[in-house]
């Protein structure tokens, strides 16, 4: 809600590279997938690995079984991360839509375990899900009088 004393704001679309750079600059995000025909959102930590988003999961996690049930093309998910100041309402938000695959290669799993500690340590957090971005969108929320970042696309 805009208060009367707040300065005006504007939204600037970010290009794919800048959106992924920003997403990689924060450790937490939200993965969105379908569970029992309804959207489900889970907060998770992540890393960017070769342009993909990688998260750790455990055997009983809904996302683990969802990714396992997908055919060879994976299952469609969305991933969102942001950094928005609650006082100024300035910052950015990035949404990635893509295909999630359960990582099954033992060497790759070992490598991922060394790169990414689970956000919530839990017995059996030995799985990883790799999300290959297909659609990447991002917005920079800035003051009306501020110049956009050099890689932002002003619309």
Q: What is the pLDDT of residue 13?
A: 97
**Among the four given CATH numbers 3.30.479.20, 3.90.1150.10, 2.30.110.10, 2.30.30.50, the one describing domain 15-146:** 2.30.110.10
Question: Could you report the per-residue pLDDT of 79-123, keeping only the tens digit for each?
Answer: 999 999 999 999 999 999 999 988 889 999 989 988 988 776 666
10-residue averages of pLDDT along the chain (155 residues): 63 96 96 87 93 82 61 82 94 96 90 83 74 97 69 47
**Distant-in-sequence, close-in-space partners of 75: CB < 8 Å, separation ≥ 6:** 33, 34, 66, 67, 69, 99, 100
Q: Where are the domains of the chain?
A: 15-146
pTM of the model: 0.81
């Amino acid at each position: 809600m805009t208060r009367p004393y707040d300065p005006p704001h504007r939204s600037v679309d970010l290009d794919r590279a800048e959106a992924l750079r920003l997403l990689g600059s924060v450790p937490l995000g939200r993965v969105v997938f379908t569970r029992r025909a309804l959207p489900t959102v889970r907060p998770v930590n992540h890393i960017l690995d070769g342009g993909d988003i990688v998260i750790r999961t455990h055997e009983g996690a809904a996302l683990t079984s969802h990714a396992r049930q997908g055919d060879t093309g994976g299952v469609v998910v969305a991933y969102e991360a942001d950094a928005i100041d609650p006082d100024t309402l300035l910052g950015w938000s990035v949404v990635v839509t893509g295909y999630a695959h359960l990582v099954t290669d033992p060497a790759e799993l070992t490598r991922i375990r060394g790169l990414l500690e689970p956000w919530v340590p839990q017995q059996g957090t030995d799985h990883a899900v790799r999300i290959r971005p297909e659609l990447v969108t991002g917005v920079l929320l800035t003051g009306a009088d501020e110049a956009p970042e050099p890689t932002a696309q002003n619309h």
